[in-house]
Amino acid sequence: MTQILVSALLWLLVASLLILRRGRTDRSILWSALTIAVAMTLNIDGLYRSVDRLLGGINLVTLVADLALMLGIFFLGRAVAKATEYRPRIVRFALGRTVLAGALACTVVAFAFIDRGATTTTFMLDYGAQPAGAAYSMTQFVYDGIVLTAMAAVATRQIRLGRGVDRLPAVSLLVGSGLGLLLAAVVIAMDIAHLAGDIWLMLGLGAAYSPLFLSTFLFLCLGLASQPAIRWLRARSRARTTRRLVSHTTPIWQRANLVRPGMSQQDAGFSGADAETRLHRQLVEIRDAAVDPRVSFELGDAESVIVEAAEEHLLGRGADTNARSARAATGATP
């Protein structure tokens, strides 16, 4: 059930990222969500048996899924690092291709030395007592721990530098990274206990696996999805404010255009992107009319408030700009 929930959560994340991040050149977050979703989906028992049967029934799906998960963690770490300028050498190394390649190679070699039988959905329970089986699992989670530690360092810095709702993605990633590190420690301890033959300790530690696994990916998904979601909501809010300001500067621009005709053409409709261009064009022509000594044109007090608020809005001077713009658009003084 845990695998199904995590898989559904990740495919929902993939779908949301395709919508929220379309047109973005950096696809690290999308690749991370996609590869982790594939890994989680392949571990669903019914699908696992069907696919592994096609691959010869020797548990190759376990290797494919685990390698996909490692790639997903790699892309996740790079996506988090790209979101900030804080990239010390140790972080760049931990999130680099060299560490990934080494971990992938060690994982494949360890898997090759496991004495595997027929298809099983309890791979580590069946083969974790073998040294190669323990090494196979520990290699993956040591690598995951390295990447998650680097992510936690980056997220901590983002929290310190961020404000308000901008901190939400970093907080979610930090919590997810912390839970992931705890998960990695639990799995490695389980591997050691299994190798030592202490089955009761292994099973006792295993009770924490499912809740840690689910909560780790829940917070990581929230961190991945919240940043583009916040950006999308802000873009929509800005577009609404821009269109409202266009409607309130248009009468001023029309009055200025009567005494000093400009190059603007008033279209019946316009998109959110066109609204920014139109507002800028109208403001330029309003200011040109106001300073042209050849014509008689002056801004009233209320008109000056609207024009100044629109100019600040285009300059994007923080949250206060939106408040002033909204008040100006309704004719109120700031």
Question: 10 Å Cβ neighbour count for 323?
Answer: 12
- Summarised one tens digit per residue, pLDDT across range 275-334 is 888 888 888 888 888 888 887 888 888 888 998 998 898 887 644 444 444 444 444 444
Which residues does 157 contact at the CB level (< 8 Å), separation at least 6?
A: 84, 86
Contact in structure between 59 and 53 (CB atoms under 8 Å): no
**Do 239 and 304 fall into the same domain?**
yes
Q: What is the 3-state secondary structure (H, E, C) of the chain?
A: CHHHHHHHHHHHHHHHHHHHCCCCCCCHHHHHHHHHHHHHHHCCHHHHHHHHHHCCCCCHHHHHHHHHHHHHHHHHHHHHHHCCCCCCHHHHHHCCHHHHHHHHHHHHHHHHCCCCCCCCCCHHHHHCCCHHHHHHHHHHHHHHHHHHHHHHHHHHHHHHHCCHHHHHHHHHHHHHHHHHHHHHHHHHHHHHHHHHCCHHHHHHHHCCHHHHHHHHHHHHHHHHHHHHHHHHHHHHHHHHHHHHHHHHHHHHHHHHHHHCCCCCCCCCCCCHHHHHHHHHHHHHHHHHHHHCCCCCCCCCHHHHHHHHHHHHHHHCCCHHHHHHHHHHHCCCCC
Contact in structure between 214 and 5 (CB atoms under 8 Å): yes
**Do 315 and 220 fall into the same domain?**
no
**Do 264 and 209 fall into the same domain?**
no
Of 229, 254, 281, which residue constitutes the final position of a domain?
229
Question: 10 Å Cβ neighbour count for 54?
Answer: 9
Question: Which range marks the domain in which residue 108 is found?
Answer: 2-229
Distance CA 65, CA 37 (A): 10
Q: Which residues of the chain have pLDDT under 70?
A: 1, 20-26, 83-86, 262-273, 317-334
Q: Identify whether 334 is part of a domain.
A: no
**Do 224 and 308 fall into the same domain?**
no
**Do 243 and 194 fall into the same domain?**
no
- Summarised one tens digit per residue, pLDDT across range 241-266 is 888 988 898 898 888 888 887 655 44
Buried b (16+ CB within 10 A) or exposed e, 220-233: bbbbbbbbbbeeee
- What pLDDT is recorded for position 74? 93
Q: How far is CA 84 from the centre of its chain?
A: 13
C-alpha count within 13 angstroms, C-beta hemisphere, residue 268: 0
Contact in structure between 107 and 139 (CB atoms under 8 Å): yes
**Do 55 and 7 fall into the same domain?**
yes
- Tally of structural domains, the chain: 2
**Do 121 and 224 fall into the same domain?**
yes
**Do 16 and 37 fall into the same domain?**
yes
Angular region, 162: left φ>0, alpha ψ -120 to 50, beta rest = beta
Q: Identify whether 316 is part of a domain.
A: yes
- What pLDDT is recorded for position 271? 46
pTM for the whole thing?
A: 0.74
Give, in degrees to the nearest 5, the angle at Cα 156 between 155 and 160: 115
Contact in structure between 179 and 219 (CB atoms under 8 Å): yes
**Do 161 and 48 fall into the same domain?**
yes
Q: Identify whether 50 is part of a domain.
A: yes
- What pLDDT is recorded for position 260? 80
Distance CA 77, CA 298 (A): 56
**Do 224 and 243 fall into the same domain?**
no
- What pLDDT is recorded for position 212? 92
**Do 194 and 286 fall into the same domain?**
no
Of 188, 210, 229, which residue constitutes the final position of a domain?
229
Of 214, 229, 244, which residue constitutes the final position of a domain?
229
- What pLDDT is recorded for position 334? 40
**Do 218 and 266 fall into the same domain?**
no
